[in-house]
A = this chain, B = another copy of it.
């Protein structure tokens, strides 16, 4: 119907064709139930005939509601976050919300600039990963007067709500488990400790568990590397070269898989020569040989809960709870 160089049809055009006022056309399009079915049909037909596409910028401006939920993740490559994101997205779609996703690359500055643009776009809610933010970011979020959810780590004083697991407890459990198996020299491979409260808490849990077992914390056994397979492999290589060790706990399966493959390459027997444990329960963890002992994290449940909290807040429901501990499980497999 419309031709290439026509301007887009507006709600006024639709109204004219349908023979109603613009505001009635608007109500009909939103299916608000305030319009007689016959009228609605006329409007819908007119809209179809004109290839009408509503302009959400105008709608956002008028209603002060963008139907956008902004999500900030540390990176694109970790499939853990992808799963959570997917489940947030699935849970919000039916309510008419769309995700606006940004990646902070673990940089507080980048995170701040993302928050700024999300506020500019008038996101209806903002979901962040972790609770380490710049002061400016905290100030922006506090004055924003929209629902804020921090996910993946727990925090007694969240900006808004907070949905995650106790990274400390999980790491403590795993380290405790390794020590319980008789390992005395347990290494730790962490990812990007700076600005990453998840890894930081996991390291703390590791330290605490060693102490509980009256074992010395040897700083030489602790590695802080980027978050890729290669880095896990390299860190494992270094640990093996420089130290005698029984076991390694990696704060992410990506690193653990890299470490495991490095052991394979060196023909080390896992877990006989060295035990390897991970964190996240990535899909590959149970397929690799030997299968990887790791921490299972309810990543889809986290996403669903985040979406639930956001929706409740957007509906204006009074909050009953601000901190949601989604729990973890120790998944015992063959590698440790």
Taking CB atoms, residues of chain B closer than 8 Å to A56 are 117, 120-122
A225 CB within 8 Å of chain B: no
A328 CB within 8 Å of chain B: no
Taking CB atoms, residues of chain B closer than 8 Å to A284 are 229, 257, 261, 284
- Which of A61-91 touch B at CB < 8 Å? 61, 66, 76-77, 79, 82-83, 85-86, 89
| Contact between B4 and A143, CB atoms less than 8 A apart | yes
Please, how many angstroms separate the alpha-carbon atoms of A233 and B215 in the complex?
41
- 7 smallest beta-carbon distances between A and B, as pairs: A57-B60, A76-B82, A56-B120, A57-B61, A261-B287, A57-B57, A264-B289
| Contact between B76 and A98, CB atoms less than 8 A apart | no
| Contact between B57 and A2, CB atoms less than 8 A apart | no
A329 CB within 8 Å of chain B: no
Please, how many angstroms separate the alpha-carbon atoms of A116 and B54 in the complex?
9
A2-B143, A117-B98 known; A265 and B289 CB under 8 Å?
A: yes
A53's nearest neighbour on chain B, judged by CB, is B119
Taking CB atoms, residues of chain B closer than 8 Å to A54 are 120
Please, how many angstroms separate the alpha-carbon atoms of A82 and B78 in the complex?
9
Please, how many angstroms separate the alpha-carbon atoms of A264 and B101 in the complex?
38
**Smallest CB–CB gap between A294 and chain B, Å?**
15
**Smallest CB–CB gap between A151 and chain B, Å?**
16
Please, how many angstroms separate the alpha-carbon atoms of A53 and B66 in the complex?
15
Taking CB atoms, residues of chain B closer than 8 Å to A261 are 284, 287-289
**Smallest CB–CB gap between A94 and chain B, Å?**
12
A318 CB within 8 Å of chain B: no
A57-B66, A101-B101, A261-B288 are known contacts; what are 17 more A-B pairs with Cβ within 8 Å?
A2-B143, A4-B143, A4-B145, A5-B145, A54-B120, A55-B61, A57-B57, A57-B60, A57-B122, A76-B79, A76-B83, A79-B79, A100-B100, A229-B283, A229-B284, A230-B287, A261-B287
**Smallest CB–CB gap between A145 and chain B, Å?**
7
A191 CB within 8 Å of chain B: no
- Which of A119-172 touch B at CB < 8 Å? 119-122, 142-143, 145
**Smallest CB–CB gap between A278 and chain B, Å?**
14
**Smallest CB–CB gap between A33 and chain B, Å?**
21
Taking CB atoms, residues of chain B closer than 8 Å to A61 are 55, 57-58, 61
Most buried by B among A57, A98, A145, A258: A57
1/0 per residue, CB under 8 A from B, across A240-260: the answer is 000000000000000001100
Please, how many angstroms separate the alpha-carbon atoms of A228 and B284 in the complex?
9
